[in-house]
Every structure is written in structure tokens, then in C-alpha cells.
Structure 1
């Protein structure tokens, strides 16, 4: 900091001691807005101990919720976790602060495959957090024969024995994208005819579902409350660690891939603390600590710190032959997003 460089650490300490307690607390605070159950709390304790910065963690359940919060200006956070396709719009709307991740000391640990991403080519506004896929998890003990076809058909047109035992994610983007893949419709369609087909499929499926929920997915699967869940691979892996009859499907019609990232809102109250946190998270041992706890892969050269159980689990260690099934999530235009919102409102209304 300029003050520290000019006057030295002793004078900085004296200056801080003269500040009101509330001001000192604010200076050492970080407001972190992340997906629910997507960060190990114990790692925050380590960060706080090493940096003296107190972290206040708040959770959201979808990119839509995150966008609404940022666009309303109703809350100030220092670090947020948007998915890849959301970032270009946030940059365009002036909602993100430039942080120049490529200049941070721990950027050197980033895997080459994750550098220069299409949504933020120079890593000026974001840093990679975790990545994974959204597919289908099922309890083989509750399925006749013990196996299901790797197809969205098992989800949208379930076998009679699974009806009423299926959980859907409570997010428009995830459900509508899955339906689009199954029907062979472009994920950013602007066609009213396409929208009608998607809505018809979702409405027919609705009566066969147990619930829509994006929370407590791990507990729901691990307890056997549902026989099938539209869910993320990392949540599936954590549930499988508790209930070994759970299996994960990479649907052959297309399996959505996501890349979640750290970013700093334009109105962040503690941007320097945010940069400290993001750089700290790119240290291999810290990135691996998240992967070990949350069961999603990271973009850092941290393999030496990873637990063996995740390396052996198909939900995390995807078979190479499934690579062609991966479908990156696209940043849809206003008309496509409006169509998606209309479909969801009709479905949930």
C-alpha cells in the first residue's frame, strides 16, 4: 500500500490504532457471495488466520439469483462466483471490477488449459474457481435392473417405477437447457415454436417429479429420499461417498459443462481484500483443499494435494470417451433469456 511504502509498517499500525474499531473491522472484512454448499468453511478459518481478514459468507442458488442481486444494487459483496457464460454480460454492463488476475503471483500455478478463456481472454476480470458438469444421478438400488441408459429420456420420460421419486433443479437455465438438449433444440433459441415444445416437455414431466430444489442435493441423494436427481457431478460424488449405490450419467444427447469463477463486483467495498483472497485461492494447496471438500475439479496445478477417492470416482474422473458429450454453456441474448423466463414462469405458475 502507498502509505505503508512511505511511512513504514510501524506508522501504519499507529494510524490504524487511531481509527474507530468499526473502521478497523471494515478494513479487515471480506463479503463473499458463493453458491450454497460450494466452499469448505474450515478453509475460511485458515484464510482468516493467515491474513487477518474476516470473511462473511452468503449463499445463492443460481446465476439468475446472483444477476438479480447485482443488477438491483441492493447488496455489496467483495467476491462473487459467476459461471462462465454470465461473465461477458457482467463486463459489458460495467458490473465487474478489473482485477488483472494474470498479474497476481499465484497465476503461475494455473493450468494452461484454463488460461485465456473465451469469456475473459486476458483474465482481467476473473479467476477460475471450479469446473464440472450437470447430469443425472440415480440410486441403482432403487432402479429395477440397477442401471439406466445414459440419456435425458430417463429423466423426462421416466420409467413407471421412478415416477414421483425424481428431483429437478429449481433453476430455469439448468432445466430448460436439459430439455433443449433432449429435444435437439439450440440452447439459445429465440423461436416461439421451440419454446412451446420445451414447455410441453417440462409440463408433462412436472407431474412425475417429487420436487424442484437446488439446495440440499447431497443430503437428498445420500439419504435415499429420491431415486434420481438432475444435479451436478460434484454433489453426486459427495453423496456417493455416503451411499455407494449412487451412479452418475453423462447424457449422450449432451452434458452441460460449467466453469465457475471468482470475480469482484464494481461496487465492492473491500477490493484489495478481494484480490488477496483470489490470489490466495490460486495457491495449489488451497485450490486442492476446496476440491477435496467439494468434489469438483479446479484449474490449478494441485493434483499432488488431491485425495485418491476423487481420482477413482467416475462422477469426478470422467471417462475420456465422454468428452464429445460435453456442451459449454452459452451466453444467450436478451430475446432468448426472455423466452426462457416466460417458459419458467408458465411452468412454475
Structure 2
């Protein structure tokens, strides 16, 4: 496995000079979230298939999308969240790969076999799924209520000790849910209320960052973090006093997927990888590493016991009605969200 940076132009030039078939025999280029794929699983894939894998990373769906929109043509697989699969399809950035026809698709469990953003699984395959809530250190903070208010209107002792995700959708949606506003609102007045809440919170934050969340909590650099549940689990493994909150106003229930970009240089290798990842043992290795659940039947017997005992991963049934599945918003709603985020980050 190799990590790359700034080599897309070279990859595109190679594809144009030698043609797709010359590259496709041995190469696969992944573009994934940071710290979201086990290195030993890549090594296993390379050993079993003879295909060399190069991994590049991003910190948000929007970063990945912007790169593809700018013409990046060197990636074979990207890992967008559900709503971003919709965007990629709308903008003709995703290749039709007919995932449901791959041999291991039979292992995909419902409802992941037919999600709203790709009901026939023509353009995507499931990777990991989870939630986005709040993690805090019980050794450094009083017991907190299960509400977004602890985050957006923090207690005095927590001010300056809270970290936010540098993620437009997660931050905007969390604020909207706390305020009781539709995350896909097209009303400028409602978007302004979301902006006002985020602006009022901003002085109390230590930083916005979607990378290093685990290390930050483990080191005690912050007491509370807006956090994905798998990251919270991995932090708890190193610092037992960390706990995960399911806010009563609702929290994101998301799924990340494997998608082949329209101009991928090695699409057949990509399909080989996707089918390989729908094998229960391989999916379980990814879950054990990331701390997030997969959608593959039969993987449970290969999971670490720590995942089964952590409420951040194995969610208590009483929280099921708090989950809010991701949905793709209209262009007008997305434009409002973009304006809020741009203003917030100035």
C-alpha cells in the first residue's frame, strides 16, 4: 500500500498515454476518509489479487466532491455518504457498476441492499454505517443531559474545551435538529436561525476539525467532541471515561459507500475490490478497525467483543427513535446551507 499526495495529474497523464488496460492490470487508487481503512486489509487484498493499492485521504464529502468536480481523474473508488451518492449521480460523476450483480452482493443486509439514494445499487456498494452524536469525558465533566443543548449552549466549565467537526452537513444538521428545523429547509429565515446558533457557539469551541478526533479525546485536549460513534468507540478503548451521547432531539444515521468515479482508470479492479469487501471476513476486519458497523451478513462472528459491549456501537434499543437517516436536500436548500457554512467559517 502507498499513500499519495498531489499525483492526480500524473495518474491522468498515464491513463491517457498508455490507455486504461495498461494501468488496470495492477493498480487501484482509493480516495477515502482519513483513518478509515485498515492498512493490513489493503495488504491482504494486494496479496490475494496482485493489485497494488494507493490510498489518498480527505476530511469531508465536500472536499472529495470538489476534487472530482475540478476534474480529478485518477481515483478508482471514493467513499461518499449516502446524500453525496445522490449528488454524484446528479452531476454525472459516478459510474454505473451494477453492484447488485456482483457475486458477494448476496451478503448485503436490508435496508442497505436498497437505500433511497441508490435503490437498485447500480452506482454504489455499502461500506460502513453509524451515527454522529457527542462524546465527552466523564472524568473531566459532570454528567451531561442527552441533548444538543450541552453542545450548542455549553456549561461554563466546558467553554473552550469543546471540538466541532469541520463538516458542513453534520454541523448544520445538528443545529437544525436542536432548533426543530427541517435539515432541508428552503426558508432563509430558518437558515438564519441556524447560523445565529452556530455563530453564538463558535467562541466557545476549541476548534473545528474532522481529523484527529480520537487522539484529541484520548489526550484530554478537549472534554467534549462532536463525533462519529466509531471514533468515540476507538477513543473509549484508550480512555475508559469517554462516553457517547444520543441527543434526544435526533442525530444523524448515515452510511458510507464505495462508488467508482465516472473517469476511473481501473474500473474492473474497482469492481474486484468492491466484491471482495462484501465478503463477511473482510467486512469484519474493516469494522474492527473503524469501530463502525458494516452491512454484511455473517460478519458478526468475526467482530471483536469490545464492539458488542459498547453502547456507542451496539446502540440500546431505546434510542432507535432518535436516529434520523440522511437525505438529499434540494438545490435551494443546499445553497442556503452553503451560505450558512461560508459565513460561519469566515
Name the TM-score, length of structure 1 as normaliser. Answer: 0.91
What is the count of residue pairs matched by the alignment?
327
Q: Is the 8 A contact 1:69 1:75 kept in 2?
A: no
User: Is 2:260 aligned against 1:241?
Assistant: no
The one of 296, 300, 305 equivalent to 1:300 is 296
- Which residue of 1 is the match for residue 195 of structure 2? 199
Unaligned runs of 5+ in 2: 1-17
2-side partners of 1:23 and 1:192: how far apart? 50
**Range with bigger deviation, 336-345 or 282-291:** 336-345
- Which residue of 2 is the match for residue 124 of structure 1? 122
Shift of 1:24: 5.5
The one of 125, 132, 135 equivalent to 1:134 is 132
2-side partners of 1:127 and 1:74: how far apart? 21
Matches within 5 A, 1:1-349: 27-144=25-142, 147-301=143-297, 302-349=299-346
Shift in alpha-carbon separation, 1:312–1:94, aligned structure 2, 3 A: same
**Range with bigger deviation, 23-32 or 33-42:** 23-32
Unaligned runs of 5+ in 1: 1-19
- SS of residue matched to 1:113: coil
2-side partners of 1:223 and 1:99: how far apart? 43
- Which residue of 2 is the match for residue 15 of structure 1? none
CA RMSD in angstroms comes to 1.4
Runs (4+) off by over 3 Å? 22-26
- SS of residue matched to 2:154: coil
1-side partners of 2:40 and 2:95: how far apart? 28
Q: Is the 8 A contact 1:164 1:208 kept in 2?
A: yes
- SS of residue matched to 1:136: strand
| CA-to-aligned-CA distance 1:95-146 (integer Å, 9 cap, x gap) | 11111111111111111332111111111111100000000000000113xx
Say which one has the larger Rg: 1
Shift of 1:72: 1.4
